Amino acid sequence: MSTGPHFGASAYLERIGIDGPIRPVASDLARLHRAQRCTIPFENFDILLGRPIDIRPAAIFAKLVERRRGGYCFEQNGLFMSALAAFGFEARFALARVHLGPQPTGLTHVLILVRIGGEDWLADVGFGGGGPRAPLRLVRDVVQRHDRLAFRLVECAPFGTMLEVETDGSWRRLYSFEDRPVLPVDLALGNHYTSSHPDSFFTYARVASRVEPDGRTALYDHRLTIERGGVTTEETVGGGAAYIEMLAQRFGIELDAPFEALRPLHPPPAER
């Protein structure tokens, strides 16, 4: 996913709401990370419309920037990698196993490792389940805090490095990764499984999330969760045009299809 003529720096900066110039330094890495995380929603609706997820850089840019849609990790971090390359950062992909369920997944999450002045940073604008909002220094056993959140990276054999978040006074695993070479075919395989395999969460659940300065808004099918200033509320969203309007108002997702087209492709594994 190298950068090229497909990437328009000015259009990207306008999309995420910040001005240049951008230099390959830690402070500007954080500016870009926070801006994209808070602007472009995490979402999977093209999958549930039966559309393939194209992770070629030009296709990602067209969808997330020009058409102002959102996407999931392969799209979000694919776009962010193009931006980092365009602004002169030294960056590389890493593949991760998600540990939110009873068993770790395959290598179906992608993140970015960025080297600045001899120091490595973890950048991830594409983890929808409460991931970091700002880059994290790639050091183990050090608690790093931002936006009322606390993260740490720990050794976790045999999976490599584990990213954990503090939740209700205890540490919860998010994902594990190793700093190994990632080829385009590795990204293609992970994206193909995540967007099409019947056991993939994204093929049967309607999900969206958007980070806010003081919280987060998240959608799971018809359940809308709103976190603001440490207070969480939930509401149920109906179907039809009201659902499509909610996507536009809450997440900035303008779908070109009716609600009826968003029916899950198949039931979740527990119901089969």
Per-residue pLDDT at 2 exceeds 50? no
Confidence of residue 1 (pLDDT cuts 50, 70, 90): very low
Count the domains in the chain: 1
Confidence of residue 229 (pLDDT cuts 50, 70, 90): confident
Task: Please write the tens of the pLDDT for every residue from 3-56.
Answer: 456 899 999 999 999 998 999 999 999 999 999 999 999 999 999 999 999 999
Taking all residues of the chain, what is their mean pLDDT, rounded to a whole number? 94
Average confidence (pLDDT) over 164-186: 96
**Residue 21 has what pLDDT?**
95
Which residues lie closer than 8 Å to 179 by C-beta, 6 or more apart?
92, 94, 113, 160, 161
**Pick from 95, 89, 117, 108: nearest CA to 161:** 95
Find the domain containing 195 and state its range: 9-271
Q: DSSP string of 12-80?
A: HHHHHT--S---SSHHHHHHHHHHHHHHSPEE-HHHHTT-----SHHHHHIIIIIS---B-HHHHHHHH
**Residue 5 has what pLDDT?**
65
Average confidence (pLDDT) over 136-165: 96
Confidence of residue 128 (pLDDT cuts 50, 70, 90): confident
Catalytic residues: 73, 109, 124
**Residue 122 has what pLDDT?**
98
- 2 is a domain residue: no
- 88 is a domain residue: yes
Task: Please write the tens of the pLDDT for every residue from 98-122.
Answer: 999 889 999 999 999 999 999 999 9
Task: Please write the tens of the pLDDT for every residue from 197-209.
Answer: 999 999 999 999 9
Task: Give the domain CATH number at 54.
Answer: 3.30.2140.20
- 1 is a domain residue: no
- 3 is a domain residue: no
DSSP 8-state code for residue 140? B
Average confidence (pLDDT) over 63-75: 97
Confidence of residue 212 (pLDDT cuts 50, 70, 90): confident
Average confidence (pLDDT) over 180-195: 98
Higher-scoring residue by pLDDT: 1, 257: 257
